[in-house]
Structure 1
Amino acid sequence: MKNTVFALREALEKVRQESGESVLQATSGANAEILQLKTTIGALRDELEASHASREEAVQQAHSADQDEIRQLKATIASLRESLEAARLDKDKGVGDALAGAQNELSQVRAAVVKLREALERSEYAKQDALAAMRAQHQSELNQLHQTITALRGQLQGAPVRQSG
């Protein structure tokens, strides 16, 4: 029985030793797996942070590019506005100059029309005066001719000469 007890003790000791080794191996394997998982987690965390940083940088670059484009577009709009305003002012000045020129020319034409009308009226008055003078002269000549005719008739008929007045 001592042998059996001894054999059982040795078997129990062997089982304990194997069990301890098995626990040690399991613990060691678990610790190794935990360490590997921690390393993987750290690597994934670093990769995730790098991804976030990269994405944030890309967003910042896109935002910066958009802001630059917005500034450029605003500058272009301001420049186009100034050009349009300058063109509008030039056009208004051109229209004003043309209108002033047309008004000046119209005033000159009106003045010329007034002068021509006055000259025409003077010419008409001179013509009427000349016509009246000619009529008066013709009437005077006609009266003289009538007097001459009457005097000549009187001489031909032997009648005394009468003078009309």
Structure 2
Amino acid sequence: MTESTVAPPDAGSVAETYRQQTKLVAPAAGLGLPGAQLKWYDIHGTDQTIADEVRAEARTFLRAEADGAGLDFRNELGFVILHRCGESFHFLLVSTWRGNNELWETVYARDGGPFQPFPQPGTHRGTFCVWELAAVLHEQQAWIRYLRSGRDDTARHAYLADQYAGPVG
């Protein structure tokens, strides 16, 4: 016998006024930091871009975090997602592979000001949105290919070159 179930909310917690839009996932030049080599993805609406100065600010910020105590990389591979959400808000998601097959994440954001850690109170919190998951799904498959490879220098370069590009949503 199964546990009793409660009827789901009418819209499954989706606001009646919400309309899903298409966004673009675009790979950009990777970022080498002390202890990590990271792929880079920009995500933005089809009618938007990510300003070069915002991307440069994000890269400079991550270099400072890696040089300080903000990011403690351990000879890792991974990826960054810079996601423009609206006019001035940007998420900066840093993900690395640890423990062989685990994806670890650090979340930063900026809302017109500088990047800073994104507060995530509580135990049940957001991870990736539907647009970010396109890059994450690709990365999951790329990491599996890497794990099944000889994991030598050629395989590492192949992993770092393997990126997703295209519309989502």
TM-score range, shorter chain: under 0.3
Q: Counting strand residues as a fraction of each chain, which structure ranks higher? A: 2
Q: Return the structure number with greater relative CO, CA threshold 8 A, min gap 6.
A: 2
**Greater helix share, structure number:** 1
Normalised by the length of structure 2, the TM-score is 0.16
Give the greater-gyration-radius structure (CA).
1
